[in-house]
Structure 1
């Protein structure tokens, strides 16, 4: 099993706009977590300009599916994103 980081760069007004889509976004995250794909995730602070989600699987497919379904992406709160394989050396 590999780890994959999904890294979002979010819009400058992300914090103000996310409320309209937050429940749908969190429901999607919980769904992926229940399936064992999403290990953890959250927004970076000071500044709140990015978010990072950690996926686990044989391929980046779960992270890619998350992006396609995420209301934050669909509604322009995410300006760009990338998925990177993460070679974990210590821990989980």
Structure 2
């Protein structure tokens, strides 16, 4: 398994994003309850305020599987974010998603 990172930036007003964000959080919670290695969170500015986007880190077999996975994300399905998918190769240390 390889690690992948999806970053996203809201491209719609917050009030339009909120229902899809709730669906995204429920989706990630369901994945985690099934044992998937996935974590999702907000990107924040220097003051700790949400900055209009997020980051998700997860494992997948390869880039094609990672893309198929993120295309199921309610945030992407809604069209309320622009996003980027990248592979991630840890070079020092490792992470544990609890």
> Could you tell me the TM-score, scaled by structure 2's length?
0.70
> Could you tell me the TM-score, scaled by structure 1's length?
0.73
**Aligned counterpart, 2:88:** 86
Unaligned runs of 5+ in 2: none
| C-alpha contact 1:9 1:49 (8 A) present in aligned 2 | yes
**Aligned counterpart, 2:3:** 3
**Counterparts of 2:24 and 2:4, CA distance in 1:** 19
2:65 pairs with 1:65: no
Unaligned runs of 5+ in 1: none
Q: Which has the larger radius of gyration?
A: 2
**Residue correspondences, number:** 88
